[in-house]
Amino acid sequence: MKGFASLSLFVIVALIAACAPAQPVAVAPTEIPAAPAATTAPSAGTVLTVGMVTSGSLGDNGIFDLSLAGLERAKKELGVDFKVLEGKEDPSLYYNLLETAAQNYKLVIVNPGYQFSEALKEIAPKYPGTTFIYMDGASDVQGANISSMSTSDHEGSYLAGILAAGMTTLDKEGLNPDKQVGLVGAIDAPVINNFIAGFKNGVVSVDPAIEVKVLYAGAFDNPAKGKELATSLYDQKVDIVYNVAAQTGQGVLLAAKETGHYAIGVDTDQCPVQAGSVLASMLKRFDITTFLMVEAMAKGELKGGQVYSYGLKEGGVELRMCPETADVVPQDLVKKIDDAKAKIVSGEIEVDSVK
């Protein structure tokens, strides 16, 4: 989730070691209009070349760094060559970066896809021999050489909502009896609102009387604004704020620390960022999903015109409880979260989403 959109690179290593499923399995794709054939695997002895274009920069401690970890794994395990072309939050660069990637690489990862939609609409038809992966949602641009990857952020956020609602009225330091929790989003857009929908569902499942206060920062890379908005929520007696704001969210976590309240992290493991003030992190496993998409391409199994969805069941998202605040969260609440996860995986609970 990053502009876009979605937390230092040292966290990535810990994240992969601690959280990656031993045997991640690719999910069956969900069809969208169009029925093109599968992509062609590189011939024997041919190295798959991958270019990843990003709207922002590496070092985001979020989806870009996570995807980089997935590419590094693909290089080690699959022998691919890759390069990252960084947009540096400058839309004037996006078209040229995407076309450069299309000209030079067999597979182009567009990260996040919605930031490059207009460019993709023009460029994809010009380069039918290049396969494009639209990251973080379903592409609104149709084509035999375009596949999409989506993580079910609403599912992981549902669990975050249960955590926030179950904690907010407890008689503990940093909490108060007021029935309200907060959320700071990067921008008012479907990719962020999907988190919000799931979070609200989770809160309501615990107590419909709890109010969810939402503020948008209008940017993915403004920690000062994130701190300002989170502080305003804490000043209104909100005691837990969910960070859904990528780099902007660093300010959210700092505000939690400075005001003596709590936050919930996003994208990567943010537990150590402001240790003791972060209850959990809703992990968006772009490290796993990026690898799986590249692996499918390498095997000739990636199908154009389709969306590959990764939720709690597939390991695409997860709520990781922070060890630094384990003594603050009651075990019965942890069990409630685990039970809800099992019911989402089984299909017993269906979480609202925003497309």
Q: Which two tokens stand for residue 247?
A: 């780099």
Question: What pLDDT, in 10s, does the model give residues 96-147?
Answer: 999 999 999 999 999 999 999 999 999 999 999 999 999 999 998 989 999 9
Q: What is the dihedral of CA 298, 312, 309, 263, to 10 degrees?
A: -100
SS3 of residue 69 by DSSP: helix
User: In this predicted structure, what is the pLDDT of residue 158?
Assistant: 98
pLDDT value at 20 more than 50: no
Q: Sign (positive/negative) of CA torsion 275, 280, 282, 288?
A: positive
Question: Which residues sit opposite 134 in a β-bridge?
Answer: 110, 148
For residue 240, the tally of other CB atoms under 10 A from its CB is: 25
User: In this predicted structure, what is the pLDDT of residue 41?
Assistant: 56
pTM: 0.82
Amino acid residing at 240: I
User: In this predicted structure, what is the pLDDT of residue 39?
Assistant: 59
User: In this predicted structure, what is the pLDDT of residue 69?
Assistant: 96
pLDDT value at 323 more than 90: yes
Q: Which two tokens stand for residue 209?
A: 């009387």
Give the residue from 206, 217, 207 showing the smallest Cα distance to 252: 217
Q: Which residues of 319-332 are buried (b: 16+ CB within 10 A; e: fewer)?
A: bbbbeebeebbeee
Mean pLDDT, residues 328-355 taken together: 96
Q: Which residues of 256-283 are buried (b: 16+ CB within 10 A; e: fewer)?
A: bbebebbbbbbbbbbbbbbeebbbbbbb
Indicate the pLDDT class of residue 7, thresholds 50, 70 and 90: very low
pLDDT value at 1 more than 80: no
CA atoms of 341 and 10, how far apart (whole Å): 28
User: In this predicted structure, what is the pLDDT of residue 342?
Assistant: 98
Mean pLDDT, residues 308-325 taken together: 96
Question: What pLDDT, in 10s, does the model give residues 216-268?
Answer: 999 988 999 999 999 999 999 999 999 999 889 999 999 999 999 999 999 99
**In the chain, what are the domains?**
10-152+285-310 (3.40.50.2300), 153-283+317-345 (3.40.50.2300)
- Residue, of 31 and 85, whose pLDDT is higher: 85
pLDDT value at 192 more than 70: yes
Q: Sign (positive/negative) of CA torsion 167, 170, 173, 176?
A: positive
User: In this predicted structure, what is the pLDDT of residue 211?
Assistant: 98
pLDDT value at 46 more than 80: yes
